[in-house]
Amino acid sequence: MKNAQEILPANGKLGVLIVGINGAVSTTFVAGVLNVTHGYGKPIGSLTQLATIRIGERNKNNFPLIKDFISLADPKDFVIGGWDIRGGNCYDAAKEAKVFEDKDIDSVAKELESIEAMPGVFDSYYVKRLKGTCIKEGKNKYELMEQIRQDIRNFKAQNHLERLVVVWCASTEIYIKQSEVHQSLQSFEQGMKENHTDVAPSMLYAYAAIAEGVPFINGAPNLTVDIPAILEFADKQGVPVAGKDFKTGQTLMKTVIAPMLKARMLGLNGWFSTNILGNRDGEVLDDPQSFKTKEVSKLSVLDFILQPELYPELYAHYCHQVRINYYPPRGDNKEGWDNIDIFGWMGYPMQLKVNFLCRDSILAAPIVLDLVIFMDLANRTGFKGIQDWLSFYLKSPMHATDKVPEHDLFIQLMKLKNTLRVMKGEAPISHLENEALESARDLEHLTA
Ligand SMILES: NC(=O)c1ccc[n+]([C@@H]2O[C@H](COP(=O)([O-])OP(=O)(O)OC[C@H]3O[C@@H](n4cnc5c(N)ncnc54)[C@H](O)[C@@H]3O)[C@@H](O)[C@H]2O)c1
């Protein structure tokens, strides 16, 4: 057994500040958490609330719940707030989002009504399809960032919070490439003061959170924290960051099916993914510049899993296309279709068809919950910078420049659970069981 990490206890209240608090994902998360904490509903989809973790060898039969194994913040201790450029409260926003039925919103109406959005930092240059009606004013981006910092400080003091987490559940911004201004903390700070175009609003929230010592999660595919300047800052401040883009519907399926194809050495000729989606996210993604950000995030997955450079005869020539179609009648109830052209023995072609009738925000809400809770744990454990053990939840996981990202869902899960084991001083599980070790030892003995 290794030494356990020193983990500060999860005492007191945890502030959860959400950027885009009045969106579909956010309101589904907030109303869901409130229902769950009152015992009106179950936190389906959440590992922190439902999953177990095996400790020790298989014959020990020791499978505690993760939340009993390691000290995690209890959702009952959450105090939730946030920013939105549309203003208003979470109750009206949840009704408007139409993800939950009225009964699941009215059951926690008072608490939802009390969560009033703070004005956000916004510029429609970065999200073409939206107009901000409740936004901050300031002479430059640095000043706007300072206002976000002040909001965080006020929220902490007013609610007597021990700790906080900030999570971006706001819209997908236009595609921004890394440029000079992102390369160092100094150039970034200068860029905020000079209103540099490549400093997007999401980056100001991230900088403000890190400046306040608060972990930051990026649930959208935006560049945001994935730049050297912010990583340098997170390192300096000793703050954990995680991103990008919640892994929900089609990409979740991709990161399960593609490893299976590779595990069985089946080839791939093409993968065509399309979907219809009618919520505001769909409308924002209907703008080609925001779609580009999402497309890059979605496309990166297959190449990393299939490793065409190692398996050229199986994966060197596949065609991968991703479409998102804004189709208002569907609202949040997305329907996705995947057509996968594969080939097997002697190159004979086969096809797989996946038709996923999912609900976008229903899949995303438990991811928000787990990331908030695990990022708070990371912070209490003294982890800083990129939290790649949380890649499990993310479509385009952030990673150090000298490492390739891990996309395979089950490797990601093993990594997550092993990190929890190591935090507590338990041995990580390699799945190399005793029987295998013993027979290897016998073999050694015979051949010696
Ligand atoms: N639902 C999913 O399955 C899923 C999966 C992965 C990623 N995402 C991402 O999560 C984000 C939220 O999705 P959604 O369906 O809730 O979208 P939404 O449009 O319903 O909500 C976004 C909210 O953010 C607000 N907003 C936009 N810019 C802001 C800013 N600068 N400051 C403060 N508020 C701002 C908007 O007013 C809106 O209320 C999107 O970026 C989406 O791409 C969602």
Q: If DSSP states are collapsed to H, E and C, what string results for 305-321?
A: HHCCCCCHHHHCCCEEE
For residue 367, the surrounding DSSP H or E stretch is helix 360-381
CA distance 101 to 94: 9
One pLDDT digit (tens) per residue for the chain, 448 residues: 456 778 999 999 999 999 999 999 999 999 999 999 999 999 999 999 999 999 998 888 999 999 999 999 999 999 999 999 999 999 999 999 999 999 999 999 999 999 999 999 999 999 988 898 999 999 999 999 999 999 999 999 999 999 999 999 999 999 999 999 999 999 999 999 999 999 999 999 999 999 999 999 999 999 999 999 999 999 999 999 999 999 998 899 999 999 999 999 999 999 999 999 888 888 888 888 888 887 776 778 898 899 999 999 999 999 999 998 999 998 888 899 999 999 999 999 999 999 999 999 999 999 999 999 999 999 999 999 999 999 999 999 999 888 888 889 999 999 999 999 999 999 999 877 666 565 665 556 555 5
* Ligand 1 binding pocket mutation candidate from 25, 127, 301 (most atoms within 8 A of CB): 25
CA distance 375 to 76: 17
CATH 3.40.50.720 fits 14-246+362-423, yes or no: yes
| Closest ligand 1 atom to Cα of 97 | 20
According to the model, what pLDDT value does residue 436 have? 59
In Å, the largest CA–CA distance within the chain is 79
With a 6 Å cutoff on the Cβ, whether 257 touches ligand 1 is: no
With a 6 Å cutoff on the Cβ, whether 85 touches ligand 1 is: yes
Ligand 1: centre distance to CA 64 (Å): 35
According to the model, what pLDDT value does residue 1 have? 46
According to the model, what pLDDT value does residue 59 have? 85
CA distance 75 to 53: 20
- Residue 314's nearest CA partner among 277, 269, 378 is 269
Domain range summary for the chain, segments of one domain joined by +:
14-246+362-423, 251-357
Name the H helices within 238-339.
250-263, 280-285, 288-306, 312-315
For residue 219, the surrounding DSSP H or E stretch is none
With a 6 Å cutoff on the Cβ, whether 388 touches ligand 1 is: no
| Closest ligand 1 atom to Cα of 122 | 31
With a 6 Å cutoff on the Cβ, whether 172 touches ligand 1 is: yes
Ligand 1: centre distance to CA 67 (Å): 29
For 354, the token pair is: 């996946």
- In sequence order, the 6+-apart residues with CB closer than 8 A to the CB of 93 are 21, 22, 23, 26, 27, 84, 86, 117
- Residue 253's nearest CA partner among 365, 67, 68, 407 is 407
168 bridge partner residues: 19, 218
Q: Is the distance from CB of 33 to CB of 99 less than 8 angstroms?
A: no
With a 6 Å cutoff on the Cβ, whether 167 touches ligand 1 is: no
Determine the angle formed by the axes of helices 185-193 and 228-237, rounding to 10 degrees.
Answer: 110
Given its phi and psi angles, is residue 73 left (phi above 0), alpha (psi -120 to 50 degrees) or beta? beta
CATH of 251-357, picked from 3.30.499.10, 3.30.360.10, 3.20.20.140, 3.30.930.10, is 3.30.360.10
According to the model, what pLDDT value does residue 262 have? 96
CA distance 274 to 291: 13
